[in-house]
A and B are shown apart, each in its own frame.
Chain A
């Protein structure tokens, strides 16, 4: 099976958040970057499928030059090769715009299976996989925890709300967006890191993919959230704070 995994580089979870002068995004200068969590699970599922059934795992990522480090990480974990769509204006594209870019790079590869993470930890649109299926004319399923290859195609385990699940059968080629937590993530081995240096990373420019930038949803501005409740932040030494909390729970909130 030839599997393409679309991955995104995002700020680390506890990255400092300072809104930049433009008011539409955060200052990126002091941010550490990481592979988006659900994308890491998509990559893990792809690597496991390859181990069971053979084939090839290709990682695909759109982003500026720094995305190269996340691509190398995926190669170090075991992906065979990579496609990097060099793109400095990712933020000007909405989910459809980014998906168009990815679709243009995927089409000539004709994969049997395309995996994406469920949603990005930064913008959180959660749409890329489903839009890619539409643009590529492929069947899809989302919120997938586990993939089983069958004679007819695939059986996948889909997460529903409130602890329910569902199995879905679908033919290949297909697109799946993967939920976090389906399997245990592997670490890159030293040997893997060494091998990754010589693996092929093909760079495509956004311009040569000729995907329109025009967006139909515009992020006008960002802001730090307003507190919904009047939160009392308790301070003092650890011991004092703990005593204050218990007292407040007892006499103010009347819970204990």
Chain B
């Protein structure tokens, strides 16, 4: 039967937020194509989460349960979902675009001779799938042309979790066949990188710096603006990769998620991994020399220019305004 399957991910025994967004995407695609939507939750203990899912508008909820799925491993999850997809034969399989999904779904799709259309930001007529290219500087429109199921992962924040339709669904159980020896990697317990002393998540004003700053010796330019505003200093990934600022100041999918009243992005082009971390900002100011930088698409106020001239001028203006 033609159908849509959405794969739900659990994090610390809860359904992750981005999984609800994937479910919303699946329901919207289901409405567009007139197809039933089923949700599946893989893991070692899935009963309570499956019950939670059964309260949504779904044709059914499938618990894919096995003790070897208690800790995530790419081998375990690929095997389990391969068996589910071969049994259910859905036309579309939707995932949240999480780090975990990025780690195994390309292999799962390849095993079925398909390719994942990943990091999808929207779904159009056809259906077509939108995703970004060139670090967010281009949008691409994709169509699935393969003979097997169409694998899609949806980007964080692209669909709204609060649009998930309520309903009631029956719960099924599938016990995949997995041997311990088939799981070749041994995952360790997650740990925090460093003791977090900076809580960017609750900062009201943030000045954030990117590649455009060119070198650690230039950081005083943004430090002075942050000091004038009374703002926390943050950075995009390359700055922390280079060791110019500590990792705890990194904003984006691999760093902290922020929701300040004001986010000033200095010399940050706005790659998607950064933008997902600042979606909750009330007001975004972007300063960049490239007028086509994607950061300007999400900015409220933009200044195209040399940050080494613009930022000191803003610092002076802020100081003057505060006197």
Contacts and interface: CB of A to CB of B under 8 A. Distances in A.
A is bound by B: yes
Given A130-B104, A139-B75, A165-B191, A222 B133 contact: yes
Nearest to B295: A231
Interface stretch (B19-27, B43-51, B107-115): B107-115
Interface residues of A, number: 79
A125 interface: yes
Interface string B298-323: 11111111000110011011101110
A217 B241 contact: no
B138 to A, nearest CB: 5
Interface string A7-29: 00001011001010000001000
Contacts of B30: none
Contact of B314 (A96, A122, A242): A242
Given A126-B102, A231-B302, A234-B302, A163 B247 contact: yes
Nearest to A224: B138
Contacts of A166: 187-191
Interface string B143-162: 11111100000000000000
Contact of B256 (A127, A162, A216, A245): A162
Nearest to B286: A231
A169 B188 contact: yes
Question: Interface SS of chain A: helix, strand, loop or mixed?
Answer: mixed
A14 B290 contact: yes
A19 B187 CA distance: 44
B296 interface: yes
Interface string A149-166: 000000000011111111
A31 to B, nearest CB: 11
A112 interface: no
B135 A164 contact: no
Given A131-B106, A233-B304, A216 B113 contact: yes
A190 B196 CA distance: 42
B300 A229 contact: yes
B217 to A, nearest CB: 17
B269 interface: yes
A76 B131 CA distance: 35
Contact of B309 (A135, A141, A181, A238): A238
A85 B34 CA distance: 44
Nearest to A134: B107
A96 B294 contact: no
Contact of B248 (A163, A169, A235): A163
Closest 3 CB pairs of A and B: A216-B146, A181-B241, A139-B184
Interface of B: 74-75, 78, 98-99, 102-104, 106-107, 109-111, 113-119, 128, 131-148, 184-193, 196, 205, 211, 229, 237-238, 240-243, 247-248, 250, 253-257, 261-262, 269, 282-286, 290-292, 294, 296-305, 309-310, 313-314, 316-318, 320-322
15 contacts: A26-B138, A162-B255, A165-B190, A168-B188, A170-B184, A180-B237, A218-B145, A221-B141, A225-B297, A238-B310, A239-B313, A249-B262, A253-B283, A256-B229, A256-B322
